[in-house]
Each structure stands twice: as structure tokens, then as C-alpha cells.
Amino acid sequence: MILTVAHRTVYRYDTPIRVAVQSLRLTPSAFDGQRVCDWVIGVEGGQKGAGFRDGAGDWVEGWSLRGPAEEVAVRVTGTVETSDLSGLLTGHRETVHPGVYMRETLATRADAGIVELNAAVSSDRSDALGRAHALSAAVAEAIAYRPGATEAHTTAAEALALGEGVCQDHAHALIACARLSGLPARYVSGYLFATEDGSPHEAAHAWAEIWIAGLGWIGFDPANRCCPDARYIRIGSGLDARDAAPIRGVARGASSETLEVSVAVGQSQQ
């Protein structure tokens, strides 16, 4: 499948900023399941800095913008050829040991509800792959997909208690359960092609990857009750949503900011 992406993020400030510095993790991952045909990242009026590949295999590049400016606009356009590997992340080069992803964060901290959900599944599953699939299904049942039900800082425990959330909440809850089961797990950010089958989706999407000994990293998307396939474009990963954020930055001179994001993912002719 050949997918096209048009992604624009705009930060607007109540007073003009003096300078903005950003770290962008917005380049598609290099692995067997996807190939970049063309990809352009830009900050309107900004200056591109150095780039590097981090230990998780993600490409990160720096940008800066000198003011005065009332907004910072990040634009991404490109085309990626994808294939269905049933969620397997093969051919991806990284140096970070999977054990690093056993570390708990505020967003993925397990409370009594998470422990109970995990125990109900894990007690009947002895093989790691089967347990991972069962956990993903359990999270999908426990947290109904509802846009706007949660916020950016909602934790896995809070979303589970609410019983509603978005893809970020599903990923955090699955990560929390997997780590309780002794399985390294991490958060993945990317894009999802919106199909017409009525399944829930967000063009700017997120899911989880779980490390299975003998197989490697495998993606699980509880929000759509599947493993990532050719509709998905993988961008980057981290311990949680904050760690895997596609855009990080600081702006000097502003007292408050508003955020506007627009993402469109389409299918091109083969």
C-alpha cells in the first residue's frame, strides 16, 4: 500500500515569542514493513539544525525559529510504501536493550484496577505471544473508544477507571499490563489510514509494541483490535506518550499557547 501524509501542527502564542527551539521525531521508521518514497519536514520560517538516530532507532532533528513570532507551524508531507508484517517489527536497527522498557512511568503506573485486569488474563495464559494478544483484547473491552473522553495527561489507571478513552489510553493501559506480566512494552506514535469499514481510527495514531522472546517487537493496537498492518505508518517510540512525542520544544517570551493539529492520511495509486 502506498500512503500519503499531510500533517500540520501550529502553536499560537498570546504575545510574540523571541525564540523557539524544537526537537522533531517525525520521520518514518526504517524497517522491513515500510519504505519512504519522499518525506519533507519543515518549520515555517525556521532554521534546520543537526539530526541524529537515537538508540531506539528513531530519527530526530532539531529546528529553531527566531522571533518575534506569534506562531510556530510544523509541516510534514510525504509518501510511504507499506506492507503487512502482522505487527512484526523486522529489519529495524536499534541498540536499546528491551529490558529498558520494563521501566514504569506516571502514565503507565499500575494501580489496583490495572493489576486486576492483568491478573484476569495472565492467569490463563502461559505463552508470551498468546498473553500479549489476550491483554490487548482485554484492554479493548475495558476501555471503550470515545474521542474527547480523556486528556493528554490522563494515565492508564484513570482511563481504565473511566472505561473510556482514545488510542493513547489504550496503548498506555496495554503497556502497563504487559510490564506487569514481565513483558517489555513501549508506546509507538505514527499514522493510520482511515478506512471506510466503520472501525475507530485517528489519522495521527498510537499503539503499543510488546517484546516477545524469539520473535522481537510486535505491535498491538487495542483501539482497532488488531496488529498494525499496511494501513499504519510507524514514526517513533518511547516509554509512554510523552517520551515518544513527535514534537518537543521550548519557546521564550510567551505566557500561554494554543495548539492546532490537522492530519490527513490517504492512499495513492500503486
The bridge status of strand 164-165 relative to strand 144-145 is parallel
Pairing mode of beta strands 216-220, 164-165? unpaired
Residue 194 neighbours by CB distance under 10 Å: 17
pLDDT, the chain, mean: 93
Average pLDDT of the residues in 98-105: 97
**Residue type for position 125:** R
pLDDT in tens, 229-270: 999 999 999 999 999 999 999 999 867 889 999 999 999 875
Question: Quick one: CA dihedral 49, 50, 54, 57, positive or negative?
Answer: positive
pLDDT, tens digit (0-9, with 9 covering 90-100), for 23-71: 999 999 999 999 999 999 999 999 999 999 999 999 999 999 998 999 9
Per-residue pLDDT tens for 118-140?
998 866 566 999 999 999 999 99
CATH 2.60.40.2250 maps onto the chain at 2-81+246-267
Q: What is 84-238's CATH number?
A: 3.10.620.30
Q: By the 8 A CB rule, do 121 and 168 touch? A: no
Q: Which of 4, 2, 82 is nearest to 263 (CA)?
A: 4
What is the per-residue pLDDT across 144-176, written as a single tens digit (0 to 9) for each? 999 999 999 999 999 999 999 999 999 999 999
Nearest CA among 105, 53, 67 for reference residue 242: 105
Q: What is the dihedral of CA 16, 22, 26, 30, to 10 degrees?
A: 170
Is 2-81+246-267 CATH 2.60.40.2250? yes
Tell me, yes or no, if the pTM score tops 0.85: yes
What are the start-end ranges of the E strands in the chain? Answer: 2-24, 34-43, 47-53, 59-82, 144-145, 164-165, 185-192, 204-212, 216-220, 232-238, 247-252, 257-267
> How many whole angstroms separate alpha carbon 122 and alpha carbon 135?
8
Q: Which of 128, 150, 137 is nearest to 214 (CA)?
A: 128
CB 27, CB 5: distance < 8 Å: no
Instruction: Average the pLDDT over 181-188 and give the result.
Output: 97
CATH 3.10.620.30 domain locations along the chain: 84-238
